[in-house]
Amino acid sequence: MNSTDLLAKLKEPFDPGLIHWRVGATTQDKKKGIALAYLNARDVTKRLDDVCGLDWQCRYPFEGCCEIGIKIEDKEGLLWVWRANGAGETAIEAVKGQYSQALVRAASTWGVGRYLYYLPNVWVELDSYKRIINPPPLPKWAIPGDTNA
């Protein structure tokens, strides 16, 4: 697979059922919040497996940083191309969460799930625990199979 096709496959939208939501900013009364979409690290690694097979790897050169390498074919042959990103400790499972978030962010540098950053901000109702009651619908361009993505 050439690099253009590989990148296009990595960038494809995920099944809406795999999108998770968390709350960003809230109103003063905490009854509404901005819904922020994110992906689970397992789904990100599955995308890398499905698209790249064995031709990808990740490494953590220092705490909070993940580098993802993908074997790319060019005119000279095969070479490893690396991209990286990082994250701080998370509120839940601080260290594990940090490594998972760093992997997800590093994958976004390859286009995996990057479209989620471009979703419009939507205010949604929150329950008494500040959880989203009903996630917002995804725009047509963020659903697999849309030809305008």
Mind listing the pLDDT tens digit for each residue in 27-54?
999 999 999 999 999 999 999 999 999 9
Dihedral (Cα; 40, 44, 50, 55), 10-degree rounding: -150
Model pLDDT, residue 146: 62
pLDDT of residue 73: 84
In a domain, 139, yes or no: no
Answer yes or no: is 122 within a domain: yes
pLDDT at 91: 67
pLDDT at 44: 98
Q: Which stretches in the chain have pLDDT values below 70?
A: 91-92, 146-149
**CA–CA separation, 58 and 23 (whole Å):** 29
Q: Does residue 135 lie in a domain region?
A: no
pTM value is 0.88
* Per-residue pLDDT at 149: 46
In a domain, 36, yes or no: yes
The answer as to whether 140 is a domain residue is: no
In eight-state DSSP terms, residue 121 is P
Range of the domain at 100: 3-128
Question: How many folded domains does the chain comprise?
Answer: 1
Say which amino acid occupies 66.
C
What the block records as the tokens of 35 is 């819904």
